[in-house]
Amino acid sequence: MLQKVIAILLPNTVLEVVEDLAEVVSVVAVASTSVLYGLMTGWAAVLPRLQDDSSAPFNLTDQDVATLVSMTSFIGVVPSLFSGVLVECLGPRRLLLGVITPVLGLWLMMAFTPYKSLLYVGRAGVAVCTYLEEAILNPLLAELSPASIRGMAMTGVSISSSVGTLVAYLLAHLTDFTTATASRVAILFVVVVLMCFVPESPYWFVRRGRVEEARSSLRRLLHSEPAVEKEVSAIRASPSSTQTSIADQFVALRRGQNARPVLLVLILYVLRELGGRNAILQYSVYIFRRGGVSMNPFTCTVLLGTTKLLFSIVSAYTMDRAGRRPLLYGSAGVCGLALGLAGIFLQLEVHGTSWFPLMALLLYVACYGLGLGPVMGVYLGELLPTPVRSLAVSIITVSYTLAMFAINFVFLKILSLIGVGATLIIMAAMNLIMVPLVLKFIPESAGITLQELELSFTSTKRNRDTEDI
């Protein structure tokens, strides 16, 4: 529809430029859906406001906070288990739009409810929609983006998530609980409108045997009919073109070239969670309060969100130039060192260094935004073989959300039991473990087509990559 409107309104001399714009709109619209994850994660920053509000309709305890923060990942396991089946039945684009829209009403319910029980219900509903969105997002974006800009396009996911987190932090800092929660609706409404212009995945159409619809989808993304036919041929030649069921994907997952990348990406995702990714972003106000930072903890949290966003933008410009691997192992190493030094300073109670935890966490989120966050998202779309992609995303999402739930549920208790310093040291070790894993086993994927990446973990190719390292 967008292409027809463009053709009518604009002369042929500028049509090619606008076609590029139409492709950009599709990529940006899909990537922007990750703002939902940032808004959900950053919402935890407003809970201290609700706790401190004497006029609130109900009392919110620390245990309530821990439950509200951690329940999202636990509840997210259920939709993650079925995301692959739903994608294959409905199509990733249709499902993505369908899970974002109900969140508008859920945020309004959470903002204005006089009952604590409805706050829990709304949080649970947002969690279901968000984890379905996250499971669909990266594979769909990888299938819609050309290899030459896929890294930059998929880095948009991290940028969008960072925007959502920063907005949530700013709202928590500047407004009350009701305003901060209800304001999310305006942002998500824009995302829903943008998604209406996105075509369905041509890969999904081919898997369903609907080749003509795949061509129609590609015509909205590519500039010429020969390019459309070339892409259709490449998709049809891939091993996944005849696989339409999760049962087929379970069979394919038994093959070593499919199982190896899934296992490696799963391990990296779990280590990233154990390394504090979600806990630091959701409990930042509590960390700064208990870490003895003299600055206003809400101001510190806004600085974290700003830093994460800025370096996510930098990552978009460096992803396809510097490569995925250097950004990933470099950022993981620096994240580990930053958290480790902050933990040591807090454990030793070095006098006059109350500012150091803030500087260390700023360095952590900077490196996370530069590499550890966006590269992992890119790899979720790139390294997972097409024959098992839907199933693999479900398995990985379930695994790391369980790890996230366990960490978030006990995090405040861990802080009380062993202190902020020891907690940061443990997280540092998890980040540092990732470095040798990436150096040893993960290939570079910048500029490589999805069809070529499917061969990256065959025995011959794997041995050659190891020798090159």
Cα(281)–Cα(31) distance, integer angstroms = 20
* CB 312 within 8 Å of CB 37: no
**Residue 272's closest CA among 49, 87, 431?**
431
- Residue 15 has what pLDDT? 38
Q: Return d(Cα 281, Cα 278) in angstroms, integer.
A: 5
Nearest residue to 314 (alpha-carbon basis) of 104, 152, 85: 152
Question: Does residue 75 contact residue 98 with C-beta atoms inside 8 Å?
Answer: no
The residue ranges of every structural domain in the chain are: 2-468
Determine if residue 198 is left, alpha or beta; phi over 0 gives left, psi from -120 to 50 gives alpha, anything else beta. Answer: beta
Say if CB 253 and CB 384 are below 8 A apart. no
Euclidean distance between CA atoms 368 and 363, whole angstroms = 8
The topology (CATH level 3) of 2-468 is Growth Hormone; Chain: A; (1.20.1250)
Q: What is the mean pLDDT of each run of 10 residues along the chain (469 residues)?
A: 42 42 77 91 88 87 88 79 81 91 94 93 93 83 71 77 90 91 93 89 85 84 78 72 65 81 91 89 84 83 90 81 87 94 83 77 91 83 77 83 85 88 93 93 75 64 41
Confidence at residue 22, expressed as pLDDT on a 0 to 100 scale = 60
Give the type of residue at 414: I
Give the C-alpha separation, 435 to 325, whole Å: 10
Is the torsion defined by CA of 164, 170, 176, 177 positive or negative? positive
The pLDDT assigned to 1 comes to 46
- Buried (b) or exposed (e) across 106-142, using 16+ Cβ within 10 A? bbebbbebeebeebbebbbbbbbbbbbbbbbbbbbbb
Whole-prediction pTM:
0.71
Closest CA to 394 of 91, 128, 80, 79: 80
